[in-house]
């Protein structure tokens, strides 16, 4: 599976979307649209952080220990009785580390684009972040990644690889470095496999067979 957003079309991705939707009380379409924008943004922020030796070392340590992919072994159990507060607390910590002072900007932009209130967006991100870290940790083990350059390459490939991933990364970095209004999120989503310029309907149209 090449790109991160291909993953949302997989059985695991659909389980993630359905589980997060049930956690917040929103539809799978609404939740899927937020995750379509949010996951590349979080991945891009991680890739940006990992471009420094200190950031790469911190991410490698987290992926080797707490976030080794184990959370993916029982997503049904994770969502079955509502997501445990400890998972959301973990997610909040990941978001604070990855997004830093831009977290409120990201949440505001996603709220504007999706029409969901900010508290719902915050919950979606808190639940999705540990699962995304688990996916990265699992991939790290599968590819036997042990150094910063390998980590950068792996994150790039998970974003889709090639020119589109580079363009997506530059869009994400410019968003994180600016005080943008979130319009850039359309461009980020449009670079996803099946996405289309100016919106996310192309990707989501086939997500649940609609």
pLDDT tens, position by position, for the chain (210 residues)?
Answer: 346 667 788 888 888 899 999 989 999 999 998 998 898 889 889 988 888 888 888 999 898 888 988 888 888 888 887 888 999 999 999 999 999 888 998 999 899 888 999 999 999 999 999 999 998 999 999 999 988 889 988 888 888 777 777 887 888 887 777 665 556 676 666 655 445 443 344 344 334 333
Q: What is the pLDDT of residue 172?
A: 82
Torsion of CA 140, 136, 49, 113, to 10 degrees: 160
Under DSSP, is residue 199 helix (H, G, I), strand (E, B) or coil?
strand
Helix ranges, the chain (H): 4-7, 11-24, 28-49, 53-64, 75-80, 85-99, 103-114, 118-143, 148-158, 162-176, 184-190, 201-205
- 99, 45 in Cβ contact below 8 A? yes
Residue 150: other Cβ atoms inside 10 A: 15
Of the candidates 202, 185, 179, 180, the one whose C-alpha atom is nearest the C-alpha of residue 34 is 185
Token couple for 3: 């790109």
- Give me 157's structure tokens: 């490939």
Residue 123: which H helix or E strand, with range? Answer: helix 118-143
Q: Which residue from 71, 47, 17, 56 is spatially nearest to 158, judged by alpha carbons?
A: 47
Query: Token digits for 171?
Result: 């869009």
Q: Is 87 exposed, middle or buried (0-12, 13-18, 19+ CB in 10 A)?
A: middle
Q: What angle do CA 122, 128, 131 make, to 5 degrees?
A: 155
If one counts every other C-beta atom within 10 angstroms of the C-beta of residue 105, the result is 17
* Side-chain half-sphere exposure of 171, counting CA atoms within 13 A: 23
Question: The tokens of 154 are what?
Answer: 């792996």
């Amino acid at each position: 599976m090449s790109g991160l957003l291909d993953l949302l079309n997989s059985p695991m991705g659909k389980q993630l979307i359905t589980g997060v939707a049930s956690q917040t009380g929103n539809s799978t379409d609404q939740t899927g649209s937020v995750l379509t924008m949010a996951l590349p943004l979080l991945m891009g922020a991680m890739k940006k952080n990992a471009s420094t030796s200190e950031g790469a070392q911190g991410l490698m340590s987290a992926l080797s220990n707490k976030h080794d992919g184990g959370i993916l072994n029982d997503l049904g159990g994770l969502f079955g009785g509502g997501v445990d507060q400890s998972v959301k607390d973990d997610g909040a910590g990941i978001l604070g580390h990855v997004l830093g002072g831009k977290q409120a900007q990201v949440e505001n932009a996603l709220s504007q684009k999706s029409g969901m209130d900010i508290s719902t967006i915050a919950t979606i991100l808190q639940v999705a972040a540990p699962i995304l870290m688990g996916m990265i940790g699992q991939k790290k083990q599968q590819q036997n990644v042990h150094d910063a350059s390998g980590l950068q390459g792996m994150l790039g490939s998970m974003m889709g690889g090639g020119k589109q991933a580079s363009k997506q990364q530059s869009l994400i970095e410019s968003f994180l470095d600016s005080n943008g209004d979130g319009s850039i999120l359309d461009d980020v989503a449009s670079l996803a496999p099946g996405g289309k310029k100016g919106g996310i309907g192309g990707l989501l149209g086939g997500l649940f067979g609609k």
